[in-house]
């Protein structure tokens, strides 16, 4: 039997429930990666480890903002802005001062499509390298075995 716990939406909890398209940015630690909540996951509340960024403008795609935050450029930016001796963390104030370039919706969609093609290409390349590695290992082992003295 599988039990799926449900959050009972009390009035004080309601404002903390994640909404479809909310961006979750890791606020603490060395990695400030961003994810995106999707309603298919079910009701959820983010822990204090995350900043929840809820877009109020329809001129920005949540997927675009997630992609932008996960670029090497922004990861370096977050790293440079983080403070702390034991565990680095971003402050809400610092995060609110970051400017994000917002191209047209069409350009955002194009960027996301190109990124998706690149991710697919990287995956296929890794699959090909793994297959070639296995093939060469087998080839070399067969070569080594064929030279054994009987």
- Name residue 52's beta-bridge partners: 24
Distance CA 76, CA 98 (A): 13
Closest of 81, 86, 58 to residue 69, by C-alpha: 81
CATH of 9-101 given 3.90.220.20, 1.10.8.870, 3.40.720.10, 3.40.50.300: 3.90.220.20
**Cα 64–chain centre separation:** 11
Q: What is the pLDDT of residue 16?
A: 84
Q: What are the pLDDT digits (tens) for 4-42? A: 555 555 666 777 899 999 999 998 888 889 999 999 988
Q: Rounded to two decimals, what is the model's pTM? A: 0.76
Q: What are the pLDDT digits (tens) for 72-110? A: 999 988 888 777 666 777 878 888 888 899 999 999 999
Write out the two tokens for 69.
């935050």
Structural domain spans, the chain: 9-101, 103-150
User: Quick check: 29 and 87 in contact, CB under 8 A?
Assistant: yes
Please report which confidence band the pLDDT of residue 145 belongs to, taking 50, 70 and 90 as the band edges. Answer: confident
């Amino acid at each position: 039997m599988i039990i799926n716990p449900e959050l009972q939406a009390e009035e004080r909890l309601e404002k903390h429930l994640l909404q479809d398209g909310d961006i979750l940015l890791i606020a603490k630690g060395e990695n400030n990666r961003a994810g995106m909540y999707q309603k298919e996951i079910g009701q959820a509340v983010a822990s204090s480890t995350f900043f929840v960024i809820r877009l109020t403008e329809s001129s920005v795609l949540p997927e675009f903002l997630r992609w932008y935050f996960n670029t090497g450029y922004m990861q370096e930016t977050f790293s440079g802005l983080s403070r702390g001796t034991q565990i680095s963390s971003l402050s809400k104030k610092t995060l609110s001062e970051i400017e994000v370039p917002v191209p047209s919706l069409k350009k955002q969609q194009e960027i996301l499509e190109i990124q998706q093609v690149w991710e697919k290409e990287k995956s296929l390349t890794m699959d090909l390298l793994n297959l070639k590695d296995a093939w060469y290992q087998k080839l070399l082992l067969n070569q080594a075995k064929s030279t054994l003295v009987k």
